[in-house]
């Protein structure tokens, strides 16, 4: 059915722009599942072994917000992908259990189902199902800390009567089993519903509402899509990235670019802690190459870049205006604009002050408050439940991170910080003893386990 019906809709509209996807058609594509999508947007690709169902999505939503998915009950997926922040976490680097520190900036999950490759630069992480193993079981860096502890994880979930029903309804063909298969499939199914397509720009461009955008944002759009700014060569299409696929795509498009953020050795290198694609390919030409991030919901996405090294969009524009970032001192000193591995279209842009305002107005029009407020994507757990009680600390951390961006003096009182520190210490000890006891070859050899954070933070 998939191959038959989709081309018909396309051929019917070959003479025009997007062919419509009717709800009726979508229903046929996904075993009765009805996507909550505007009619102009094709659904994301769905792997054959994980067809969508409302029950599976609902299970996935419960799992996504369940801190018991972490080894110490402290950290849910939503800790680093908070719906209130468009599924970002507002921090420079994301923290794992026990105070473990990553060295990358968490990306927002809006439209993540349309990304045929996950994380900033791991070319082999090609599905949300496979990706789920990384935060659950990865130990480099530790995120949720379950390495070797999957049976304990399954037991925690089985012990909750609510999950008995949810797994049974989500996976009737598997007798409602709690396993790596069902866990990762449900999480992936839920994440495919994280669609942000109702920003003012969407209403203007796809919904035909000419008043949805200010005159300044319209001028900014023109600049964005111009040969002067060249932004759109990488930030292309519905999700403003050239790593993209829909259920209609004949190909997965995946692209990595070095944008000249650094040049620490005059030969193209980024700081050794994170050289992007190079870590996987070992090809020196891949130093500093990262996947193009979407530009949607940037209002909740600060700080920016793979390492969170720009606090504001103004700083991001400064970087592109200069055709690369100049760092004058410190270990990362170098002129990124002369990085020999830089994408040749990052040439530098001479903005006027007015053009800069216009471009920011355009980027602002890509923010989707309805996505942030979408009740269908919200935390399903009641107040005080074990699934959510511990991650309240994490929520405090989020608030602190968000506040720190605008007013670093407004940190939480020292007392609370000290409590958090003590709790982290306890959690760290627990996580360590857990990790020592059992080592899982499944995740040990997985290239998905990205990036050792042995190095001191640069921030």
Least distance CB 189 / other proteins (angstroms):
22
Least distance CB 407 / other proteins (angstroms):
35
φ and ψ at 67, to 5 degrees?
Answer: -70, -15
Structural contact between residues 113 and 191, judged by C-beta atoms closer than 8 angstroms? yes
Structural contact between residues 34 and 52, judged by C-beta atoms closer than 8 angstroms? no
**Under rule CB under 8 A, residue 221 binds other proteins:** yes
The residues in 24-43 that bind other proteins, with binding defined as CB under 8 A, are 24, 39-42
The residues in 188-207 that bind other proteins, with binding defined as CB under 8 A, are 205
Tell me the window of 66-74, 101-109, 225-233, 378-386 that interacts with other proteins (CB under 8 A). 225-233
Q: In this complex, which beta carbon is closest to other proteins, that of residue 284 or of residue 331?
A: 284
Least distance CB 76 / other proteins (angstroms):
31
**Under rule CB under 8 A, residue 14 binds other proteins:** yes
**Cα 143 from Cα 243, distance rounded (Å):** 25
- With tokens 């080592």, the residue in question is 439
Using DSSP's 3-state secondary structure scheme, residue 215 falls into helix
Q: Are strands 290-291 and 256-257 parallel, antiparallel or unpaired?
A: antiparallel
**Under rule CB under 8 A, residue 16 binds other proteins:** yes
Q: In this complex, which beta carbon is closest to other proteins, that of residue 85 or of residue 112?
A: 112
Structural contact between residues 455 and 103, judged by C-beta atoms closer than 8 angstroms? yes
Using DSSP's 3-state secondary structure scheme, residue 352 falls into coil
**Under rule CB under 8 A, residue 7 binds other proteins:** yes
Least distance CB 107 / other proteins (angstroms):
18
Least distance CB 341 / other proteins (angstroms):
5
Alpha helices (runs of H) in 365-413, residue ranges in sequence order: 369-372, 386-389, 391-406
**Cα 229 from Cα 178, distance rounded (Å):** 50
Tell me the window of 5-13, 131-139, 175-183, 444-452 that interacts with other proteins (CB under 8 A). 5-13
Structural contact between residues 363 and 220, judged by C-beta atoms closer than 8 angstroms? yes
Least distance CB 225 / other proteins (angstroms):
4
The residues in 350-409 that bind other proteins, with binding defined as CB under 8 A, are 350
Count the neighbouring beta carbons within 10 Å of the beta carbon of residue 273: 18
φ and ψ at 326, to 5 degrees?
Answer: -95, 120
Sign of the CA dihedral with 294 first, then 298, 301, and 307 last: positive
Number of residues that bind other proteins (CB under 8 A): 68
Partners of 326 in the beta sheet?
335
**Cα 313 from Cα 362, distance rounded (Å):** 12
Q: Exactly one of 198, 222, 374, 458 binds other proteins (CB under 8 A); which one?
A: 222
Least distance CB 81 / other proteins (angstroms):
23
Least distance CB 283 / other proteins (angstroms):
9
**Cα 184 from Cα 178, distance rounded (Å):** 10
Tell me the window of 80-88, 91-99, 214-222, 364-372 that interacts with other proteins (CB under 8 A). 214-222
Least distance CB 446 / other proteins (angstroms):
22
Cα–Cα nearest to 192, from 114, 121, 137: 114
Q: In this complex, which beta carbon is closest to other proteins, that of residue 38 or of residue 51?
A: 38
The residues in 230-289 that bind other proteins, with binding defined as CB under 8 A, are 232, 236-239, 242, 244, 246, 248-257, 265-268, 284-285
The residues in 50-79 that bind other proteins, with binding defined as CB under 8 A, are none
**Under rule CB under 8 A, residue 344 binds other proteins:** yes
At how many degrees (to 10) do helices 313-321 and 353-364 cross? 130
Q: In this complex, which beta carbon is closest to other proteins, that of residue 226 or of residue 459?
A: 226
Q: Exactly one of 173, 175, 215, 227 binds other proteins (CB under 8 A); which one?
A: 227
Partners of 290 in the beta sheet?
257
Least distance CB 2 / other proteins (angstroms):
10
Q: In this complex, which beta carbon is closest to other proteins, that of residue 161 or of residue 215?
A: 215
Contacts (Cβ under 8 Å, ≥6 apart) of 263: 269, 324, 334, 335, 336, 338, 339, 340
Partners of 335 in the beta sheet?
326
The residues in 282-341 that bind other proteins, with binding defined as CB under 8 A, are 284-285, 323, 337-341
Least distance CB 68 / other proteins (angstroms):
38
**Cα 217 from Cα 436, distance rounded (Å):** 54
Q: Which spans of this chain sit near other proteins (rule: CB under 8 A)?
A: 3, 6-20, 22, 24, 39-42, 205, 208, 218, 221-222, 225-228, 232, 236-239, 242, 244, 246, 248-257, 265-268, 284-285, 323, 337-342, 344-345, 347-350
């Amino acid at each position: 059915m998939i191959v038959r019906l989709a081309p018909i809709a396309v051929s019917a509209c070959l003479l025009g722009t997007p062919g419509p996807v009717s709800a009726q058609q979508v229903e046929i594509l996904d075993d009765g599942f009805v996507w909550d999508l505007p009619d102009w947007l094709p659904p994301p690709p769905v792997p054959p072994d994980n067809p969508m169902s409302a029950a599976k999505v609902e299970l996935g939503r419960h799992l996504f917000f369940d801190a018991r998915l972490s080894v110490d009950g402290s950290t849910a997926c939503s800790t680093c992908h908070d719906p209130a922040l468009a599924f970002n976490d507002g921090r420079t680097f994301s923290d794992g259990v026990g105070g473990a520190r990553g060295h990358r900036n968490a990306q927002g999950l809006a439209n993540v189902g349309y990304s045929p490759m996950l994380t900033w630069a791991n070319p082999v992480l090609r599905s949300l199902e496979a990706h789920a193993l990384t935060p659950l079981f990865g130990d480099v860096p530790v995120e949720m800390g379950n390495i070797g502890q999957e049976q304990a994880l399954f037991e925690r979930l089985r012990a909750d009567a609510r999950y008995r029903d949810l797994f049974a309804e989500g996976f009737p063909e598997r007798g409602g089993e709690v396993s790596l298969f069902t866990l990762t499939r449900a999480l992936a199914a839920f994440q495919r519903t994280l669609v942000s397509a109702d920003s003012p720009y969407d209403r203007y461009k796809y919904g035909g509402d000419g008043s949805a955008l200010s005159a300044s944002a319209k001028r900014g759009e023109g600049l964005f899509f111009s040969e002067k700014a060249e932004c759109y060569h990488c930030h292309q299409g519905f999700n403003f990235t050239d790593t993209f696929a829909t259920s209609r795509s004949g190909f997965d498009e995946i692209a990595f670019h070095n944008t000249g953020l650094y040049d620490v050795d005059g030969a193209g290198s980024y700081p050794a802690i994170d050289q992007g694609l190079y870590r996987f390919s070992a090809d020196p030409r891949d130093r500093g190459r990262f996947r193009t991030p979407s530009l949607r919901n940037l209002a909740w996405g600060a700080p920016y870049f793979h390492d969170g090294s720009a606090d504001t969009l103004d700083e991001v524009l400064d970087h592109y205006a200069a055709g690369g970032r100049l760092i004058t001192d410190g270990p990362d000193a170098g002129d990124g604009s002369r990085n020999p591995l830089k994408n040749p279209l990052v040439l530098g842009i001479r903005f006027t002050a007015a053009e800069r305002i216009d471009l920011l107005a355009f980027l602002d029009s890509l923010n989707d408050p309805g996505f942030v407020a979408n009740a269908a994507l919200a935390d399903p757990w009641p107040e005080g439940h074990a699934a959510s009680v511990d991650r309240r600390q994490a929520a405090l951390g989020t608030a602190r991170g968000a506040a720190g961006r605008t007013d670093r003096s407004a940190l939480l009182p020292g007392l609370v910080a000290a409590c958090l520190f003590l709790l982290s210490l306890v959690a760290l000890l627990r996580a360590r003893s857990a990790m020592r006891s059992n080592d899982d070859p499944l995740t040990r050899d997985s290239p998905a386990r990205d990036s050792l954070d042995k190095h001191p933070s640069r921030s």
